[in-house]
A and B are shown apart, each in its own frame.
Chain A
C-alpha cells in the first residue's frame, strides 16, 4: 500500500468513527480564553536572574558591550579554556573581538567535539522560567549552544519578556526552521531519579545580560 492510499484509509477511518460518535457527543464546550500577561518591565531582570539561578545557570548583568567582553574573558580564564566556538551572531563577534579571544566559527565535525566553550547570543528570553530563545534564521546556534561542555549566552536586556505566551507571539516559525528554547544545563534523572548535569549537552550555562543604556 502506498502512503497516499494509507492516508485515505486513515482519513476514512477517522471520519467513520467520528460519525459513529456523533449521537453520543454532548455539545463541545466553549474554548476558555486565557489572560496574557504583559511584561511589566519592573522586576523583569530580577525575575530572570532568579529563574536562571533556580536551574543552576550563572547570570551576570553588564553595562555595554565592552564590559560584556571583560566578563566573557573572565569566564574563559576561570575555566582555563582555549578552544572557543562562536555562532555567526554579529553581537557575539564584536564582543569576542573586544575581549581579544581566539575563536572558531565554522568547525568541522572533529573540531566541533573538541571545543570547550560555545558562545552564542539569544533573540529572546523568558523571565518567568529563565529560558533563552534562539532562532535559526537570526543565528546559527544549533551546535554551538549544544556540543561544547560550556555554553555562554550573551543577551540584551531589552529582549527579555515575562512569559512563554508573549514569546510565542513574537517568534515566527515560518522564518526560523528551528527555534530552540534553553532552560539551564543538560540534565537527567534517569538513574534512581538522581539529578546528573551535562549528560548530552552543556554541563554549565553562563548568561551575560547587557543592560540597556
Chain B
C-alpha cells in the first residue's frame, strides 16, 4: 500500500488514496463500532467524569508551568532509587544514548515494548543500522514490524490491517498454516516472542507517567510484554518525554481512572508496573540497571504559549483518533506521522516543524468531537486554528512566507466591515438573495465556478466540495417586523 510511507506534507493526496481503499475502510469500521461504545460505557462508571477531567488538566497545567522544578525532583528521586538519568535534546541524541547503552552490554538483540517516543525518534532504524536486532513485542507492533510498516494508531498500531491480511503475513513471514482464528494468530506470536524474551538481556520501553515525588515510572499495558521486557532482562532502558512527569504519587489515581477508560474503554488495563529505581536486594528479580532517557525533541518549545503548551498535557490515549470523523475515514497513515489523528495534526507540526506538516492543521472539519472526548480537555480545534493562522501569517515557527493572499485579505476585511453594521448587513443579504437565483438548485448552492467564483472569492472554494445553504427568502427581523405591524 502506497500510503505506508506517506509523509505529512501531502495529506490531501494520502487522504484521497485512503478513501479509495475499501479494505482499509473495512478495518477502520471496527473503531467506531467498538472503541467509541466501550469508552462511553466505561466512563459511565465514574460519578463525576467532568470533575475528573478538570482535575487531570489542572495537574498537567501545574506541572507544565513548573516543568523545570518537577523534572529536577523526578530525576533526583529516580537517581536516589538507583536509576541512571540521560538527557537528549533531540531524537538523534536519544538514539545515540540508547545505542551506547546497548553496545556497552554487548547485546546484538533487544526486546522492545511499545513506545510512541521510540517511534518518534525512529529508534528501530537506528538500532538496525548499528547491526542490533530490535524485536517489537507488542502484538500490534510486531505485526507491523513484520509487514515493514509504521503504526497507524497510538493504541492499536495495526488497526488498518484486517485479520485476513495479518494471517497472510504470518503465513509468509513465520510459516504458519493459513488460519482466520485470532487466538491461533495470537498464540503464534506468544510462542515466537517467548524465544526472544528468553534470549534478550536488554529491554526498551516507554513511560506513561513519571512521578516527581518518588522517582517512580508507571507503564500501563494489557498484554504482559512490557512486564516481560522490564522483568526478564538485565538492563531496562526507558524513553520518557519530558512532559510525562506528574507531581505526586497520589495523582496517579486520576490518570489511572482516565487513561484506560478513554483509550480502550477499560476500567483498568490488565497490568500497571510501577518501577522505582532498581532492585534493592541482589536476590530479587528484575534488571540490575535502569536507564531513563529524558527526551525533549521540540517539547520545551511548546511551552512558549498557553495554547500550544496544552498539547503537552496529552496522555496518548487515542480517544480523539477514535472519535474523529476524518480519522475514521482515512486512517492513521494518511497523516504521514507517528502521531496521527486530531492530536497528531496538532503535535506533528509543532515537533517536526510547520513547514513539514502544513496540510495537517487543515485535516479537520473542526467539529469538536476530539475536544469532547479528550480526558485532559485539550482544545484541539482551537490549536488547529492557531496553527492555521501561523501558516497563513508565515509566523517564525513556520519558517515560511505567508500563504494568505492579498485579495483574500481584502475580501475578508470588506466582509467584516459590511457585516458589523446592520444596514450594510441587510443590504448584503438582499443582494445575496438576488444573486443566488443564478446558482441555487433545490434550496442549496452546489459547485460554483466561472465568473461568480472569481467575483465572490470564498464562494468558489467553499462550494468545491460541499453545498452552501441558500439565504432564506425573508430574514427573522423582516418576519418580526411584519408580524408586529
Which residues of chain A have a CB within 8 Å of any CB of chain B? 1, 3-4, 6-7, 9-11, 13-15, 17-18, 20-21, 24-26, 28-32, 34, 51, 55, 109-110, 113, 128-129, 131, 136-137, 140, 142-143, 146-147, 163-165, 168-169, 171, 173-174, 176-194, 196-202
The answer, yes or no, to whether B59 is at the interface (CB within 8 Å) is yes
The answer, yes or no, to whether B185 is at the interface (CB within 8 Å) is yes
CB neighbours of A142 from chain B (8 A): 227, 231, 285-286
Given known pairs A146-B227, A181-B271, A192-B162, the reply for A6 and B304 (CB within 8 Å) is no
Q: Chain A residue with minimal CB distance to B298?
A: A13
Instruction: List B49-101 residues whose CB lies under 8 Å from chain A.
Output: 51-52, 54-55, 58-59, 61-62, 65, 67-68, 71, 81-82, 85-89, 93, 97
Interface-facing stretch out of B251-259, B324-332, B409-417: B251-259
Q: Chain A residue with minimal CB distance to B156?
A: A190
- The winner among B183, B231, B270, B277 for most chain A CB atoms within 10 A is B270
- Chain B binding site: helix, strand, loop or mixed by DSSP? helix
Given known pairs A28-B61, A176-B276, the reply for A18 and B303 (CB within 8 Å) is yes
Given known pairs A10-B242, A140-B283, A190-B156, the reply for A181 and B190 (CB within 8 Å) is no
The answer, yes or no, to whether B139 is at the interface (CB within 8 Å) is yes
| 12 pairs from A and B in contact (CB 8 Å cutoff) | A10-B300, A17-B301, A129-B268, A131-B268, A140-B284, A168-B250, A182-B271, A184-B270, A188-B222, A194-B182, A200-B193, A200-B224
Q: Is the CB of A3 within 8 A of B194?
A: no
- Chain A binding site: helix, strand, loop or mixed by DSSP? loop
Q: Is the CB of B277 within 8 A of A177?
A: yes
Q: Is the CB of A31 within 8 A of B270?
A: no
CB neighbours of A21 from chain B (8 A): 303-306, 309
Given known pairs A10-B87, A201-B270, the reply for A178 and B182 (CB within 8 Å) is no
B211 to chain A, nearest CB (A): 8
Q: Chain B residue with minimal CB distance to A32?
A: B55
A68 to chain B, nearest CB (A): 24
CB neighbours of B390 from chain A (8 A): none
Expressed in whole angstroms, the Cα–Cα distance for A22 and B303 within the complex equals: 10
Expressed in whole angstroms, the Cα–Cα distance for A183 and B27 within the complex equals: 28
Mask, B257-295, CB within 8 Å of A = 1, is 100000010011111111111111001111000000010
CB neighbours of B254 from chain A (8 A): 34
B245 to chain A, nearest CB (A): 11
Q: Is the CB of A18 within 8 A of B67?
A: yes
Given known pairs A18-B65, A190-B157, the reply for A6 and B186 (CB within 8 Å) is no
Q: Is the CB of B253 within 8 A of A165?
A: yes
Contact of B256 among A29, A164, A184, A191 (CB under 8 A): A164
CB neighbours of B283 from chain A (8 A): 140
A168 to chain B, nearest CB (A): 5
Q: Is the CB of B303 within 8 A of A10?
A: no
Q: Is the CB of A14 within 8 A of B87?
A: no
Interface-facing stretch out of B29-37, B118-126, B476-484: B29-37
CB neighbours of B51 from chain A (8 A): 32, 34
Q: Is the CB of B186 within 8 A of A199?
A: yes
Expressed in whole angstroms, the Cα–Cα distance for A28 and B54 within the complex equals: 12
Q: Chain A residue with minimal CB distance to B65?
A: A28
Expressed in whole angstroms, the Cα–Cα distance for A1 and B97 within the complex equals: 11
The answer, yes or no, to whether B433 is at the interface (CB within 8 Å) is no
Q: Is the CB of B158 within 8 A of A164?
A: no
- The winner among A110, A179, A190 for most chain B CB atoms within 10 A is A190
CB neighbours of A9 from chain B (8 A): 89
Q: Chain A residue with minimal CB distance to B295?
A: A10
Expressed in whole angstroms, the Cα–Cα distance for A9 and B68 within the complex equals: 12
Q: Chain A residue with minimal CB distance to B309?
A: A21
A39 to chain B, nearest CB (A): 15
The answer, yes or no, to whether B189 is at the interface (CB within 8 Å) is yes
Q: Is the CB of A13 within 8 A of B296?
A: yes
Contact of B87 among A6, A178, A183 (CB under 8 A): A6
A145 to chain B, nearest CB (A): 9
Contact of A193 among B89, B159, B305 (CB under 8 A): B159
Given known pairs A3-B97, A187-B222, A191-B139, the reply for A136 and B284 (CB within 8 Å) is yes
Q: Is the CB of A179 within 8 A of B274?
A: yes
Expressed in whole angstroms, the Cα–Cα distance for A60 and B267 within the complex equals: 22
Q: Is the CB of A194 within 8 A of B274?
A: no
Besides A34-B51, A136-B284, 11 more A-B contacts (Cβ < 8 Å) are: A17-B303, A18-B67, A28-B62, A110-B198, A113-B194, A136-B286, A143-B285, A174-B276, A183-B270, A184-B270, A189-B156
Contact of A3 among B87, B232, B286 (CB under 8 A): B87
CB neighbours of B211 from chain A (8 A): 173
Q: Is the CB of A13 within 8 A of B228?
A: no
CB neighbours of A191 from chain B (8 A): 139-140, 143, 158, 161, 163, 166, 182, 185-186
Q: Is the CB of A188 within 8 A of B284?
A: no
Q: Is the CB of A34 within 8 A of B285?
A: no
CB neighbours of A188 from chain B (8 A): 139-140, 186, 222-223
Expressed in whole angstroms, the Cα–Cα distance for A173 and B309 within the complex equals: 30
Ranked nearest first, the 8 interchain pairs of A and B with the lowest CB-CB distance are A201-B224, A190-B140, A200-B224, A13-B300, A17-B303, A7-B87, A17-B304, A181-B272
The answer, yes or no, to whether B462 is at the interface (CB within 8 Å) is no
Expressed in whole angstroms, the Cα–Cα distance for A137 and B253 within the complex equals: 22
The answer, yes or no, to whether B225 is at the interface (CB within 8 Å) is yes
Expressed in whole angstroms, the Cα–Cα distance for A10 and B88 within the complex equals: 8
Q: Chain A residue with minimal CB distance to B89?
A: A6
Expressed in whole angstroms, the Cα–Cα distance for A4 and B269 within the complex equals: 36
Given known pairs A13-B300, A180-B227, the reply for A136 and B30 (CB within 8 Å) is no
Q: Is the CB of B284 within 8 A of A14?
A: no
Expressed in whole angstroms, the Cα–Cα distance for A180 and B271 within the complex equals: 7
Given known pairs A113-B194, A180-B271, the reply for A173 and B65 (CB within 8 Å) is no
Q: Is the CB of A177 within 8 A of B284?
A: yes
